[in-house]
Structure 1
């Protein structure tokens, strides 16, 4: 541990010294944003964070929205974001955002205020069992001592320091500190010096062992058909150039989804579902790889998952640093716990001779499916599919595009990625519960770019409290595809054929304009292609420094049938 002394210019802060220390340790580790939900038990934390000149306080009333907002901030900045709430049911509302962060390797520092241990299960208000609250979905969890004596404050400092390092070390992720606090909670004091203990040890140099290099060389050189599948990645990845070099070998196919934020129309297959749809049943085995290498996070396409589970590769490798091991295609042979960049640099350095035309076969399928896609879209009736086509076609340049779950992100994968557009979606858990809050948090961190959100009506209404804060700006534009219910359940076979179909689709009349009026949001609507194209320019125009919502009404249109016709056109 390295002892430092901080002189905060006689800062007025909480009288609870280990909480004042906690805030200073956060700042020394580069945490500058904290999402606060109001409460009483977390008053010392609020006072200390607000007193520090290096901290931006972001006040979000709804804890569920707050956690997703913090996730969006952390995703945009790449830095750990802190969030704090009061005790009782409040920290339970953090859970959906924490789970998403865990499965996406996004660093959050969760600070939950709590009653002292002797008051738990004793009938005290807002008191539950908060220790180990997020046990299954957290990188690490700690509890600070209650009212530590002066000589014991350093032990609390050490816990905070360790927790922050755990959140930011690879694999990144959420870390929980539960903080019992006894009254009085609001007392302050003027500090002249604030001694703290910090350590910046952070060894992320994870590479390939000699044994792994031999394994890669052997598997790569003996595999005639190699396929690299790229899942969700953060925008700005420098992986693209390495993949292009790898794709120069015609025996290598590279499949990417829009959420990978990697684009090259000459080398990569960008729409997996389209390409699979155009391959005839008798030709399917010829498209199955001997060697499958997966990189990045979640894959949206259910079709490719089913394909690899049916046609298992001889060798299946996963590359990356993750919080847990997964075998998505039920054939995993080895996980290389290093960055994809390091892996590809080694592969690209191997002396190889092309062994097949496998990569070109996949690219030809991709190109042919793209032609059929364009033909269908140009003549298809107005529906969810064509409405999204029109929105994508009219997107301004340099946009962050946020896609909600479930049908919206799947529709968007049918279109080639747009140059200059960064694609984002909560695909860690793939829930609909925080899509807008995440995007709004992201937009707050990235004010230089326009942030466009495409959402379904249920997802938008479910997360309408994303608009209940003081951090909305003109750089947020929300498109709501209102098909009166869960459109995904009209598309997938099980619920669409069930006698209880209405219970899955769950149609409900929603007053989206009323929501906009409540939160002073600009509102536009369209119920046809002509009206959509007529209003969309106005929708993007900056107006009164407030966000805008465009509701596209498709409730009376059989969008599910049109999508099925779309896929029939590939056969």
Structure 2
């Protein structure tokens, strides 16, 4: 800590304590937006030599940038904004973080309560603006010397270290003037107490005890792995799957779909009618579900139809689950802890044999895709095959993530690919920003695949891409509108469909030319392969626009539905 006697006023004293507390909690990455009311916070951050600071003008973009960082690291990115409507722009990212147990910290500057109540300029009621989408909220007093520095530090530390699930935390910090370097009458003896701040944390989140429920080993058991945060150790999960001998469904969010797990153990997507029929004819009696929600809605339809199923759900406390889940047992613990204990106690060994042979349908699917026109299925299959070891795959919502979730192969790909998405609230916004935030902290290449509507929804974030040198490939699959709705019954409503597909005739070459960003347009698999290979070699930010014909894309999906076991 620098010479505390040089701190000019009480605002700078308190913000110094705040940043010192964050530093001691190993929180040092900040995503800031400009303003005057938050100047005392920005000043304290700039004085922290170990701080990593990303600055941007658009709060919504910065929130998703922080979300991408936190998804990769498991550590909270700290958002800092001025007073008024600035923090309201954080809400979509805050919701996503809450519903996927991703840590974020929001520090909003505010005016003193008495000024807010008088309707002072650039002031709104900031308390509870995020509603129920927080793990905690700390409403601070306006800085004053009646509260001792250690008392203030302890209050912050207890809040940051509380016994609560991971997710967004909000600190609202009101400041009276001066906001600049103007000196006030804060006594030097008060400032000197900052030199003696003590960190008193005792809570240890690693000590989590749980019991394994008794499950009849004679019952047919299916293993399902949903979304698992990529910062979790997955080696124990893979060992659990391989040693169990159980048939297994791997959701795309598990991050294990392309790993070295034996492909003979893996069930193809629930999206295939034939797979659903197979499960209904040979029903499991027990499901061990590791992790969060699945992309496939058909899994939850299956659960609704089979209420007699016993379900063991394993995941972190606060994890958002589907209403149809209705688990028989719930273990709130890191999944790797459960898997380790299950292996050590032979919990999953010697269960009744329960197998499926799906190779034929998977082989048929590969043949159809390999011989189809340029489409979402062919794009997702080829990208999986081309992704190098150690890549990050960031997937947009709607058709993008479903296409990768439906991926199946007769081969074991044995790639370490980390997969990221926004499946907490399944919104389409923020992907350009989140992929950037992730790429900034990853050593491997990051590949974002999303649709044209999601891309257009987050165009403002492209301003942050300027002058950055990162291995980030942003692939926009342009089908000229919200193509997913053509797969749903609403497609028969010719009056409503145009209002929800938001069709357009745009291509994006001129946009990227104006921004000065690397861009390639492709319209077939060979050109995609070439553009993707060149982008990997450049190890810089590259955009690839892949244009597909909507009717041809639909025809491929219709053919895939005809597959037979």
TM-score by shorter chain over 0.5: yes
**Counterparts of 1:374 and 1:429 in 2: how far apart (Å)?**
31
Aligned to 2:360: 368
Aligned to 2:201: 200
Aligned to 2:429: 433
**Counterparts of 2:453 and 2:322 in 1: how far apart (Å)?**
31
Aligned to 1:108: 104
- Number of aligned pairs? 548
**Counterparts of 1:320 and 1:280 in 2: how far apart (Å)?**
25
**Do structure 1's residue 444 and structure 2's residue 459 form an aligned pair?**
no
Q: CA deviation at 1:27?
A: 0.7
Aligned to 1:54: 50
Aligned to 2:521: 525
1:280-336 deviation line (CA, Å, top 9, x unaligned): 74x443443211222212211112121122223431221122225645424322211
**Do structure 1's residue 76 and structure 2's residue 72 form an aligned pair?**
yes
**Counterparts of 2:563 and 2:86 in 1: how far apart (Å)?**
50
Aligned to 2:554: 560
**Do structure 1's residue 344 and structure 2's residue 339 form an aligned pair?**
yes
2:109 and 2:174 in contact (8 A); partners too: yes
Q: CA deviation at 1:9?
A: 8.5
**Counterparts of 1:227 and 1:206 in 2: how far apart (Å)?**
29
Q: CA deviation at 1:88?
A: 1.1
- The 5-angstrom pairing of residues 313-462 of structure 1 reads 313-323=308-318, 326=321, 328-348=323-343, 349-350=345-346, 354-358=350-354, 360-361=355-356, 364-365=357-358, 367-416=359-408, 419-446=415-442, 448-462=443-457
Query: Aligned to 2:291, which of 285, 290, 296?
Result: 296
**Counterparts of 1:82 and 1:139 in 2: how far apart (Å)?**
15
Q: CA deviation at 1:415?
A: 1.9
Q: Secondary structure at the match of 1:307?
A: helix
Q: CA deviation at 1:482?
A: 0.4
- The 5-angstrom pairing of residues 114-513 of structure 1 reads 114-166=110-162, 171-187=165-181, 194-195=194-195, 196-209=197-210, 212-213=211-212, 216-217=213-214, 219-221=215-217, 223-235=218-230, 237-245=232-240, 247-250=242-245, 252-262=246-256, 263=259, 264-266=261-263, 268-269=265-266, 271-273=268-270, 276-279=272-275, 281=277, 283-323=278-318, 326=321, 328-348=323-343, 349-350=345-346, 354-358=350-354, 360-361=355-356, 364-365=357-358, 367-416=359-408, 419-446=415-442, 448-469=443-464, 472-495=468-491, 497=493, 499-513=495-509
Aligned to 1:3: none
**Change beyond 3 A, Cα 1:556–1:334:** closer
1:69 and 1:442 in contact (8 A); partners too: yes
Q: Secondary structure at the match of 1:198?
A: coil
**Change beyond 3 A, Cα 1:249–1:78:** closer
1:41-67 deviation line (CA, Å, top 9, x unaligned): 111111110111121111021111111
Q: Secondary structure at the match of 1:101?
A: helix
Q: CA deviation at 1:79?
A: 1.6
**Change beyond 3 A, Cα 1:556–1:310:** closer
1:34 and 1:58 in contact (8 A); partners too: yes
**Counterparts of 1:340 and 1:280 in 2: how far apart (Å)?**
27
Q: Under a length normalisation based on structure 1, what TM-score does the superposition of the two structures give?
A: 0.88
Q: Secondary structure at the match of 2:122?
A: coil
**Counterparts of 1:52 and 1:317 in 2: how far apart (Å)?**
46
1:43 and 1:186 in contact (8 A); partners too: yes
Q: Secondary structure at the match of 1:93?
A: helix
1:96-129 deviation line (CA, Å, top 9, x unaligned): 1111111111111110111111122433222111
- Pick which of 263-272 and 380-389 moved more: 263-272
1:8 and 1:194 in contact (8 A); partners too: no
1:464 and 1:515 in contact (8 A); partners too: no
Q: CA deviation at 1:80?
A: 2.1
**Counterparts of 2:371 and 2:361 in 1: how far apart (Å)?**
16
- Pick which of 386-395 and 184-193 moved more: 184-193
Q: Secondary structure at the match of 2:78?
A: strand
1:481 and 1:552 in contact (8 A); partners too: yes
**Counterparts of 1:332 and 1:403 in 2: how far apart (Å)?**
28
Q: Secondary structure at the match of 1:551?
A: strand
1:244 and 1:267 in contact (8 A); partners too: no
1:109 and 1:164 in contact (8 A); partners too: no
**Change beyond 3 A, Cα 1:202–1:555:** farther
1:12 and 1:188 in contact (8 A); partners too: no
Q: CA deviation at 1:529?
A: 3.0
**Counterparts of 1:323 and 1:13 in 2: how far apart (Å)?**
42
Q: CA deviation at 1:472?
A: 3.3
Q: CA deviation at 1:488?
A: 1.3
Q: CA deviation at 1:136?
A: 0.6
**Counterparts of 2:170 and 2:398 in 1: how far apart (Å)?**
29
**Counterparts of 1:14 and 1:48 in 2: how far apart (Å)?**
12
- Pick which of 477-486 and 234-243 moved more: 234-243
CA RMSD of aligned residues (A): 2.7
- Pick which of 152-161 and 116-125 moved more: 152-161
1:474 and 1:548 in contact (8 A); partners too: no
**Counterparts of 1:237 and 1:84 in 2: how far apart (Å)?**
27
1:118-154 deviation line (CA, Å, top 9, x unaligned): 1224332221111122131100001111122254444
**Change beyond 3 A, Cα 1:157–1:30:** same
**Counterparts of 1:354 and 1:151 in 2: how far apart (Å)?**
62
